[in-house]
Amino acid sequence: MLALTLDLDGGRAEVRFSDRGDGDFAAAHADSRGGLAAGPWTRLRQQHGSEVVVVAAPGDGDGALADAAVTAAPGAVLTVRTADCAPVALVAREGVVAAVHAGWRGLVAGVVEGAAATVRALGGKEVSAYLGPCIHAECYEFGSGSLAELADRLGSEVIGRTAWGTPAFDIPAAVRRALRRSGIQTIIEAHHCTACDARRWYSHRARGEPERHLLATWISRS
């Protein structure tokens, strides 16, 4: 598990990125929750789109059709599930957090920008971003035609090369681009490729694994 505790004005934000050792969160089983985050969870029915749900109280929005959740409510545990897509936590010092599921379709649709705008609408001004483990360009081969379309939308920096020299999509670069478009300059990256390290991470793209990691973030009550 990758764990962060961040100071807020009058509280703390907690961010957790699970790994294989924490189990499979494909269905966010209740018996898997205790070691990662206690309390009611908001679990999204992810669509690879741009929908953002605002969570007003712990457990609100559970089962919503969305790819990002935002809250200013203490004790509301926001979650997204990933294998190779990027899990992104947004934390505003003023006491707002977000969990974002960002694959290539969601990045094109603007899910990161939508989540950042919602954080600001709830009062977040000093916003930082935390990018968890995801597939990296060296392992993410992409057709050149589709890649050109992605570059038109997201910028040429999203074009990478695989370790074997073919065109690739660079998800971390695309996330950084979207965050900076949203005015977020403080970006902390885990620098872990889910495809490269089979001992620690699941990967659907590299190994066809059905299991999922979890990003959980919440505002501590104390």
pLDDT given for residue 150 in this prediction = 86
Residue whose entry in the numeric block shows the structure tokens 């009062």: 123
Beta strands 68-71; 96-102: pairing state? antiparallel
For residue 64, the model assigns a pLDDT of 96
What is the pLDDT tens value at each position of the chain, 222 positions in all? 899 999 999 899 999 999 999 999 997 554 455 578 878 999 999 999 999 999 999 999 999 999 999 999 999 999 999 999 999 999 999 999 999 999 999 999 999 999 999 999 999 999 999 999 999 999 999 987 888 888 988 899 999 999 999 999 999 999 999 999 999 999 999 999 999 999 999 998 888 889 999 999 999 976
**How far apart are alpha carbons 203 and 219 in whole angstroms?**
29
Give the pLDDT confidence score for residue 143 in this predicted structure: 85
pLDDT of residue 29: 54
Q: What's the pLDDT score for residue 216?
A: 97
Q: What's the pTM value of the predicted model, to 2 decimals?
A: 0.94
**Distance set, CA 155 to CA 116, 150, 171 (Å):** 19, 8, 12
Helix/strand number for the chain, H first, E second: 5, 13
Tell me what pLDDT residue 205 has. 84
Cα–Cα distance, 69 to 29 (Å, whole number): 19
Tell me, what's the pLDDT at 73?
96
pLDDT, residue 39, reads 81
Please report the pLDDT score of residue 71 as a whole number: 98
**Given this model, what pLDDT does residue 221 score?**
72
CATH number of 2-135+187-220: 3.60.140.10
pLDDT at 135: 97
Count CA atoms within 13 Å of residue 214 on its CB side: 25
What ranges in the chain are assigned the alpha helix state H? 104-109, 111-121, 144-154, 171-181, 204-207
